[in-house]
Amino acid sequence: MPKTLDVAPAKVLKEIKKKIVTRFPEMKGVRPTVVKRRLPPDADLIHVIGKIDGKLGKSLARMKGTTRRREIYCASFEKKMKASRGAVLRKIVRVTFDREGHILKLVSSK
């Protein structure tokens, strides 16, 4: 079982794991950490962006009211990998998905 901090639908999580292992075979058998996040709209940040770059701020200000509170999940797969000359690197793959199992973002550690 994955280390789930807030429950993602089991069927969705199974599908996500399958997709990740297909893309990253080295992650087979890795238990992901799954976190549920309720993300607030970022109105304050839009204000700060506007102070740094007026143009950007203006274009984002038009989005005010369209940014909304969202519920998303992030599953994090982590594994130590061996490199040349005996070095060991930590590789992390993070996948952000919604309740329906749509992958919103896929990133890996550098």
Summarize as ranges the residues that interact with another protein (CB under 8 A).
5, 25-26, 33, 35, 37, 39-42, 45-46, 48-49, 51-56, 59-60, 63, 66-68, 70, 72, 74, 76, 78, 81-85, 87-90, 92, 94, 96, 104-110
Residue type at position 84: S
Q: 1 or 87: whose CB is closer to another protein?
A: 87
Q: Are 51 and 64 in contact (CB under 8 A)?
A: no
Q: 17 or 77: whose CB is closer to another protein?
A: 77
Cα 47 to Cα 65, 66, 67, 68, 97, distances in angstroms: 14, 15, 14, 16, 28
- Name the minimum Å distance from CB 9 to another protein: 19
- Name the minimum Å distance from CB 45 to another protein: 6
Q: Are 3 and 34 in contact (CB under 8 A)?
A: yes
